[in-house]
Each structure stands twice: as structure tokens, then as C-alpha cells.
A and B are shown apart, each in its own frame.
Chain A
Amino acid sequence: MHSILAVDDSASMRQMVAFTLKGAGYNVIEAADGQEALDKARGETVDLVLTDQNMPRMDGITLVQNLRGLATYATTPILILTTESGDEMKAKGRAAGATGWLVKPFDPGKLLEIVRKVIR
């Protein structure tokens, strides 16, 4: 079973993402901010990281930078869930080493579609 680390400070978003992914047969690990996600990522490897950008303690871009610094996460796909699809965010995401982005709001079907693209 593939594991996905879902990071969002909003519990309702986290629930929806987790519910959707679990329903599709993925194992979901949740974290409420970048710091918590990083702590959890140090403990185990996952097949995909889905992270929000704006969060307390540590934002999504910083999380991506930190994850890319871990040997076990050098090639793990990381998607940033963001409300802004502007060039600035994309440039930052690319520079940090993210795999791609997904604009919020998205419907659950869209999420699965993209997750299937990156997890084989």
C-alpha cells in the first residue's frame, strides 16, 4: 500500500484529503503544519507528500526545502496545494524542489487523478 503524507493546518481540508485518499486505498499520514510533517517524515518514508502552502510554524515551501535535504526524500514526489497559481508561487515551488502544484479548491476526483499520475 502506498503512503501519502498530507499536510494542512485546516482540519476540514485534512479530513477531506485523507478521506478521499484512504477511500482510494492509500495509507494517509496527517500533519497539521510543516514542522509536524518534517518530524513525521524523518521517522518514515512515504510515496507522496501533499502539502498546503500557508501554515503556522513552517510553511509548505520551507517544508519542501527541508524534505529535499533528507536523503530519503530526494526523489519523493511532492505536490503543493495552493490557492494561488501565480508565477511567483510556481517559481518558489520549483526552486524549492517541489514536483508540482494543485490549485485549491479541487474536487476529490481531481485529487485522485493527479495522485495516480505521480504514484505508480
Chain B
Amino acid sequence: MGEVSNQGLQGGEFDLTQFYAVFFEEAGENLANMESLLIDIDIEAPSDEDLNAVFRVAHSIKGGAATFGFSDVTNLTHELETLLDRVRRHELALNSSMVDVLLEAGDVVRAQLARHQGSTTDIPETSDLVGRIKLLASGAVIEPRKPAGAAPASAAAPAAPAEEALPEGTRRLAVRVGPITDGKVADNLAELFRDIPSLGTIAPADAGTLDAGGFRRFVVTTQSPDSELIELFSFHVAREQVLIEPHVAAAPAPAPAPVAAAPVVDDSFGFFTDLPAPAAPAAAPAAPAAAVAAAPAASAAPAKAAEGKPRAEKAGGANLDSNTLRVSVERVDQLINLVGELVITQAMLTQQVKDLDPAQFRSLLGGVTDLERNTRHLQEAVMSIRMIPMSFVFNRFPRLIRDLAAKLEKKIELKMVGEATELDKGLIEKIIDPLTHLVRNSADHGLETADKRVAAGKSETGTITLSASHQGGSILIEVRDDGAGLNRKRILAKATERGLPVRDDMTDAEVWALIWEAGFSTADQVSDVSGRGVGMDVVRRNIAALGGTVELESVEGQGTRVCVRLPLTLAIMDGMSIGVGGETYILPLASVIESFQVEPGMIQTVGSNGRVVKVRDEYMPVVALADEFNVPRFNGDEAGKAPTEILVIVEAEGKRLAAIVDELLGQHQVVVKNLESNYRRVRDISGATILGDGHVALIIDVSSLVKRTRH
């Protein structure tokens, strides 16, 4: 076997890190899958299919983690697997505290994986959790939300019933070290325990020499977490060479049917039959066939693989296969950028050829028309790559609601509508926090407790509805609850206390608008759910930063509805181009209300330099964009005639202003370019675009302009 162990050591030459990314992705999908299974599972009568699926998640992650050397993940998922195995065999009945613990464990595994991916350095604490999992696996019942007090000693119950009880918090672990070439290196680990008495005890679990695979084995009794042990061990052996597992009193496994004359000590594989003899005849008939069939088999294999794909099973990892392709966002963005450039080039071409004689340049003009159409389709197709369904955001809410309901002691049902509605990836990621805040608010402040609801003649269970739908060029996301609604009196009292301008004759809408003001919070007490500090003003600001708007409606006793409206994408915008002096600017079309020619006497001067205009009984500030952006105007001095001025009324966050411009040039879709990354931040400008004639036009940041001129 000496030769064999050398071959075993070749394992070190394989670079396992190349499989890490797939493993992390797969594990992430498995965890998400487990979470949704657990949340939907019928605790009273779980289906075997669901139980097996949840078990497989733990099993699969454990297998991968062990292979790739993430021993902390292996250890935790091993405990989960033990528990889930007993549940799926119906040795234990599923209960809600089990689901709680499983969900918590899923979070911890996610954190462990995040650490191995390098996105965090926090080492999740697992000993308490592991204790509770073991307790559950032993058949004990855990009172909800109380840490496990009692002995996790009966831990590996099904496998090892008879181990002497260990003191609380103490664990017995099987430690495997290797593959290493010099068995004495591992003895250094024993030294560690001699040097650091608080670490616990170590005992060799082998004869003190390397086994066939180059491994040494120990049994460790300790109160220290695995992470600490590995930390210490790594002084002597590489982290990857240490595998820590809960110690299971070995049921003596008789090595059946030795392979060769020499008995194998290694139990990591084995054969049921004597190999050398049967292997030869087995291979003999197959060999000629294989030789002949080798070429066709090889070419047939990929074809088979492709056609065998339609899988009914939506198991985790399924979309790692041939139907989808995972591409980094940078590559997609590069593609979008290039298509953006192409759109500009195409627009320039279109502009260049528009004055050509249609008769003479018929085919050229036809080509340009085709180019325009194809470019538009290409752009739409490329943009759609970035689109992902809202379920990406919505999927996290069942868990959130479940946790909130438990914490707030309310009964909450979550309804979700329109999860398939698609939205740009960049926007989706940024809408998660504001939406989470709104949902938390609904659960915490909106919905009443069960007894209050019953007293008010409503059903015990409150409902929060999340919906998403497309409306024209934007997406509408609604968070609706059937709770108590906003309390006018309380808001007014709070606003007065906060020194906000308040009148008794304010309309409801005006009162509701107060909650969007900075620092406003009406919760009777600060709760750890909604907390304090991050108010609705932040939600509103974040949504506005995405080019969106938020509105709120509420009826006392009936509930509250918050509507968030977002553009579908940040990369393309409908704009109105306006001329100011010799320059062209773009106003986001969504913010333009109306425009009209300035009549003499329309604009009134207020104070020293303020100007206002009265439009339909509403006074609003007037801003001359030429002054604002220091654009020289040279067409005013001809024949002493004042230039024709046009007022464009724009609105942002419910506030309006009138902008003086020289001309309205047209409406078109513009490809938004980030100004900051190409130049620097400019006040009142949100970005830039390249026009059909190749000139750069700046896009006006209406909300910044409105805010600045109204204060």
C-alpha cells in the first residue's frame, strides 16, 4: 500500500479552489431553497417530499463543504443532517421550534460561506446553535426562543447512544489531520493541549502513525469553538489539512472482503467483492465493445447531455446547467455601454443622411432605416439581460414577516402579487432596503395586535399585500396593509412637537405628507423592529435618488397603502430637450408638467431678486436656466427685441417651479451617461447624454433644482 499512499498524496496537486465558485453558488441556492421549503412547510403534516428535499440541502452542502475543506460548514451541516435525517425517517416529529432553529442555522451557514468567500471576516458563533440542534435531534423539545440549557450530551443520539455525559458546553470531536507526509507533525497538536490546559484534552484515535491515506486521527474533548481549534492547529498543519467532526463512538465497522491480500486499514472506501478476479472478466467483454464504440460514444455524449435536460425537478443547482449562463454584471454593463454608443452613432448617421435626396440615395436611406430598427431591437434585447423579476426582492419577505410576526406577537399573512414583473438589476438591488423598511413599518405600526383587531371587528390575522406591476414606462410597487391606518391626531401632535408647520384645517393628504419629513416617528415606543433614526424621509430620499416617487394613502381603521413608482431602468430615460442660449439640456420627461410662452407681466418680482409666476392660482418660483448655468445669451440684442421665452413647469417631490428656457427642441429617449465617472459632479446636473449630432447635453437634476430654489 506504500505506493498507493503516494498516489493519494497526488491529491495535493489538484487545485480545488477552481470549484469554489460553483460550490458557493450552489450552496447559496440550496440555502434559499431550504428557506422557502421551511417557510411553506406544513408543520402538522409535512410531506415526505419536502422533508427529503430539506434533508438533501443539508446533505449536499455538507458533502461539498467537506470536499472543499470548509470544516466549520461541514460541522454545522452535519448536525443539521443528523436532525433532518431523523425527521425524514419520522423518528422525530417536525415542530415549529425545529423550523426556527433550521432557519437560524441556514443564516449561520450563509454567514460561514460568506466568510470563506472573503466577503466578511466575522466567524459566526455556532456552539449555542449546535447545542440546540443536537438537543432537538435527541428528541428533546425546545421552548421557543430560549437557549438550550440542558445537556447536548446525548448529541449523536441515533448513531451513538451510549457515551458518558459531558459537562455542559463541552464537545467531543473527532479530528482528522492530513494528508501529511510526516506523522510526527500531528503530535505537535497534542503538545498544544499540554501547553494550553484550558483547551481540553486530546487522545490519539490511531496507532500513532499515518494511515494509508496519510491521515492521523485524534479525539478531542473541548469547550472551545472549532474556529479556535483550527486557528491553533494551523500553527503546525495547514487549515485545509484539519477536519473536525463531532466524535461518534465508532460502531466497529468490519472491513468486509479485503481488496488485496494485505488488509486495508483505510475505511474510506471498500469493495463488496474480491476485485482482481471479477474485474478482469468484467472488463474483458466490455473492452472490445468499448474500443469500437469509443469514438461514437464520445461524440454522442454531448448530444445526449443536451437533450436530456428538460428537468421537472426544480432542485437547487438546476440552473447551473446548460439552460442558463451566468455572466458577471460588468460584462453585461459593458455590453449595454457599447450598445449605447451604437445608438448614438446610429442617431448621428440618421441625422447626417436626412437631407440627402431620397431618389439618389434610396438604398443608403433604406439601410439607415433598417439600422435604426435593428439598433432599437438590439438595445431592448440587451437591456432585458439586466432585467430580473421582482421575486428577487419579494422572496425575502415571507421570512421577514414570519420573524416579525413572532417578535411582535401579531398574526400576519403576506400576500404577494406580480412577482414576475421585471425590473433593472441595479434598481432592484437599491429598492430592497426601502421596501424592507415599508414592510417592517406596516407590520410594526400598521397592523394591530390580534385582540385589538378582534375588538375592531376585523379578522385576527392582519394582511400585508406586496404587489408589483408595469405601468407604462415605470413599475408600480405597492405595500398595503389592512391595519389601523394613520392616526391624524397623533401625527399632528407629533408634528407640532417636532416644530413642523401644522394647521388644524390641513387635508388628510397634507397630514400624511408630514410623515415623510425628516426625523418624524410616531411609534409610541422605539421598537427593535422599526427602530429609530431611519425614518420615512430616508425611504423617500432613496426612492427619489432612483428617479422614483412614493405616495401614501390611508384610511383610519381600514389600512394604509404606499405606492412606489420607479423607472424601469436607469440607463435609458425619456427626456425633453430644451435650448438655453446655444446649449441643449435635457429635462426628464416625467418631471415636466406643462410649458407655455411667457406673456408680458406674467412674471412678478418679489423682494430684491426673487421672481414668481402664478399658474392656475399657484405661485411658484421662476428660475432662468441661462442664469443658473451661466449660459451666454446672444440673441437678445438684435433689434432690441426681447427673446421669446418659454416657461417649463417641472415638478419634483410634489413641489413645482417654472424654468425659463429659449426653446423646446423635442422629446426622445436618451442614453444616460454618468457624469461623475467621466468628469465630476456638477450641481443640479444628474448626468449627461450624447445627442444625435454628437454634442453632449447635460441632464438637469430637477429635484435638486427644485429643492435649492424653494429653500
Q: Which residues of A contact B320 (CB under 8 A)?
A: 11
Against A, the Cβ 8 Å flags (1 = close, 0 = not) of B310-338 are 01010101101100000000000000000
Residue in B63, B308, B318 whose CB lies within 8 Å of A40:
B308
B295, chain A: closest CB distance, angstroms:
9
- Pairwise interchain contact B283-A120, C-beta atoms closer than 8 A: yes
Report the bound CA distance from A10 to B23 in whole Å: 8
Report the bound CA distance from A1 to B293 in whole Å: 9
- Pairwise interchain contact B60-A10, C-beta atoms closer than 8 A: yes
Q: Which residues of A contact B14 (CB under 8 A)?
A: 20, 107-109
Say whether B272 faces chain A, with CB atoms less than 8 Å apart.
yes
- Pairwise interchain contact B298-A1, C-beta atoms closer than 8 A: yes
Size of interface on A: residues with Cβ below 8 Å to B: 61
Given A10-B64, A99-B271, A110-B269, verify A56-B56 contact (CB < 8 Å). Answer: yes
A89, chain B: closest CB distance, angstroms:
10
Say whether A54 faces chain B, with CB atoms less than 8 Å apart.
yes
A48, chain B: closest CB distance, angstroms:
10
Q: Which residues of A contact B56 (CB under 8 A)?
A: 9, 54-56
Say whether A66 faces chain B, with CB atoms less than 8 Å apart.
no
- Pairwise interchain contact B11-A15, C-beta atoms closer than 8 A: no
Q: Which residues of B contact A99 (CB under 8 A)?
A: 271-273, 275
Against A, the Cβ 8 Å flags (1 = close, 0 = not) of B1-35 are 00010011111111010110011001000000000
- Pairwise interchain contact A45-B293, C-beta atoms closer than 8 A: yes
- Pairwise interchain contact B64-A12, C-beta atoms closer than 8 A: yes
Against A, the Cβ 8 Å flags (1 = close, 0 = not) of B222-266 are 000000000000000000000100000001011010010000000
> Smallest CB-CB separation from B298: which chain A residue?
A27
Report the bound CA distance from A15 to B55 in whole Å: 22
Q: Which residues of B contact A94 (CB under 8 A)?
A: 256, 272
Report the bound CA distance from A11 to B671 in whole Å: 39
Say whether B623 faces chain A, with CB atoms less than 8 Å apart.
no
> Smallest CB-CB separation from B259: which chain A residue?
A117
- Pairwise interchain contact A86-B63, C-beta atoms closer than 8 A: no
- Pairwise interchain contact A100-B304, C-beta atoms closer than 8 A: no
Q: Which residues of A contact B159 (CB under 8 A)?
A: 86
> Smallest CB-CB separation from B280: which chain A residue?
A120
Q: Which residues of A contact B279 (CB under 8 A)?
A: 77, 117-118, 120
- Pairwise interchain contact A113-B8, C-beta atoms closer than 8 A: yes
Say whether B567 faces chain A, with CB atoms less than 8 Å apart.
no
Report the bound CA distance from A20 to B66 in whole Å: 17
Given A1-B294, A100-B272, A113-B4, verify A10-B301 contact (CB < 8 Å). Answer: no
Q: Which residues of A contact B179 (CB under 8 A)?
A: 107
Report the bound CA distance from A3 to B292 in whole Å: 12
B620, chain A: closest CB distance, angstroms:
60
Q: Which residues of A contact B285 (CB under 8 A)?
A: 75
Report the bound CA distance from A94 to B304 in whole Å: 30
Say whether A13 faces chain B, with CB atoms less than 8 Å apart.
yes
Say whether B597 faces chain A, with CB atoms less than 8 Å apart.
no
A30, chain B: closest CB distance, angstroms:
7
Report the bound CA distance from A77 to B273 in whole Å: 10
Report the bound CA distance from A99 to B271 in whole Å: 6
- Pairwise interchain contact B270-A101, C-beta atoms closer than 8 A: yes
Q: Which residues of A contact B380 (CB under 8 A)?
A: none
> Smallest CB-CB separation from A37: which chain B residue?
B308
Given A45-B286, A47-B283, A106-B268, verify A9-B7 contact (CB < 8 Å). Answer: no
- Pairwise interchain contact B298-A9, C-beta atoms closer than 8 A: no
Report the bound CA distance from A39 to B68 in whole Å: 30
Given A54-B56, A87-B253, verify A106-B304 contact (CB < 8 Å). Answer: no
Say whether A76 faces chain B, with CB atoms less than 8 Å apart.
yes
Say whether B67 faces chain A, with CB atoms less than 8 Å apart.
yes
Say whether B267 faces chain A, with CB atoms less than 8 Å apart.
yes
The CB with the most chain B CB atoms within 10 A, among A15, A104, A113, A118, is that of A113
Report the bound CA distance from A15 to B25 in whole Å: 13
Q: Which residues of B contact A36 (CB under 8 A)?
A: 308, 311
Say whether A65 faces chain B, with CB atoms less than 8 Å apart.
no
Q: Which residues of B contact A9 (CB under 8 A)?
A: 56, 60, 315, 317
- Pairwise interchain contact A13-B304, C-beta atoms closer than 8 A: no
- Pairwise interchain contact B67-A104, C-beta atoms closer than 8 A: yes
Q: Which residues of A contact B290 (CB under 8 A)?
A: 1-3, 45, 47
- Pairwise interchain contact A54-B64, C-beta atoms closer than 8 A: no
- Pairwise interchain contact A110-B282, C-beta atoms closer than 8 A: no
Say whether B639 faces chain A, with CB atoms less than 8 Å apart.
no
Report the bound CA distance from A54 to B315 in whole Å: 13
Say whether A70 faces chain B, with CB atoms less than 8 Å apart.
no
> Smallest CB-CB separation from B295: which chain A residue?
A1
A73, chain B: closest CB distance, angstroms:
10
Report the bound CA distance from A39 to B310 in whole Å: 13
A109, chain B: closest CB distance, angstroms:
3
Say whether B53 faces chain A, with CB atoms less than 8 Å apart.
yes
Report the bound CA distance from A85 to B68 in whole Å: 19
B11, chain A: closest CB distance, angstroms:
3
Which residues of A line the B interface, CB within 8 A? 1-3, 9-13, 15-16, 19-20, 27, 29-33, 36, 39-40, 43-45, 47, 52, 54-57, 75-77, 79, 83, 85-87, 90, 93-94, 98-110, 112-114, 117-120
Which residues of B line the A interface, CB within 8 A? 4, 7-14, 16, 18-19, 22-23, 26, 52-53, 55-56, 59-60, 62-64, 66-68, 81, 159, 179, 213, 243, 251, 253-254, 256, 259, 267-273, 275, 278-283, 285-286, 289-290, 293-294, 297-298, 300-301, 304-305, 308, 311, 313, 315, 317-318, 320-321
Q: List 23 A-B contacts (CB under 8 A).
A: A1-B298, A3-B294, A3-B297, A9-B56, A10-B60, A13-B63, A20-B14, A32-B321, A36-B311, A44-B293, A44-B297, A83-B59, A99-B271, A102-B268, A105-B66, A107-B8, A107-B11, A107-B179, A109-B14, A110-B269, A113-B8, A118-B271, A118-B275
Given contacts A13-B63, A13-B67, A113-B7, 12 further A-B contacts (CB under 8 A): A1-B294, A10-B26, A36-B311, A44-B300, A52-B63, A56-B56, A56-B315, A90-B253, A94-B256, A103-B269, A109-B7, A113-B4
- Sort A-B residue pairs by CB-CB distance and give the 4 closest, nearest first: A107-B11, A109-B11, A100-B271, A105-B66
